[in-house]
Amino acid sequence: MNTQFSVAIHILTLLATEQEPVSSQYIASSINSNATLVRKICRFLKEGNLIDSSQGVSGYSLKQPATSIFLGQVFQIIFDEETHFAKIHGNTNPDCFVGKNISSALDSIYSEVDQTILNQLNHYSIQDVINRFN
């Protein structure tokens, strides 16, 4: 699993703490990354209807309150339905009993784990993340 999920949460949390739209450069400086990565993640978040970037206004802002953006939503926006918490290795030997069956066995287990992760993430909003700051 890559860091796009945590970067997306970082972006949403930063936007929730700002009163005005925030530029990709400003967000990148908070993440300590580059603006290209920020714009990529923001594109996903915008397509997911969580953030907005208006014409003529420089920067991004939340489309809804931080209390109504749940981490499970973010997870589903960042990862497609085929993404599991862990990857299943490929090219197993179809002539081997284990090699022939391991992928489907792990796929069903991983799907259950994914649903558990998603259910747990849906207990936490962006505001809950902010509330954990010291």
Residues 30, 47: Cα–Cα separation, whole Å: 22
Q: What is the mean pLDDT of residues 83-96?
A: 82
Adjacent-strand bridge partners of 61: 52
- Dihedrals φ, ψ of 79, to 5°? -110, 135
Q: In the predicted model, what is the mean pLDDT of the chain?
A: 91
pLDDT above 90 (res 89): no
At residue 55, the pLDDT reads 63
Residues 44, 78: Cα–Cα separation, whole Å: 7
At residue 111, the pLDDT reads 86
Predicted structure pTM score? 0.86
Burial class (CB in 10 A: 0-12, 13-18, 19+), 74: buried
Query: Which residue's structure tokens are 């998603």?
Result: 118
In order of their start, the domains of the chain are 3-131 (1.10.10.10)
Residues 89, 24: Cα–Cα separation, whole Å: 36
For residue 134, what pLDDT band results from cuts at 50, 70 and 90?
Answer: confident
Residues 112, 115: Cα–Cα separation, whole Å: 5
Q: Among 5-19, 37-51, 83-97, which is the least confidently predicted range?
A: 83-97
- Percentages helix, strand, coil for the chain (3-state, rounded to 5) are 55, 5, 35
DSSP state of 51: E
Q: What is the pLDDT of residues 21-49, one digit of tens each?
A: 999 999 999 999 999 999 999 999 999 99
At residue 79, the pLDDT reads 84
- Provide, rounded to the nearest whole percent, the portion of the chain with pLDDT above 90: 75
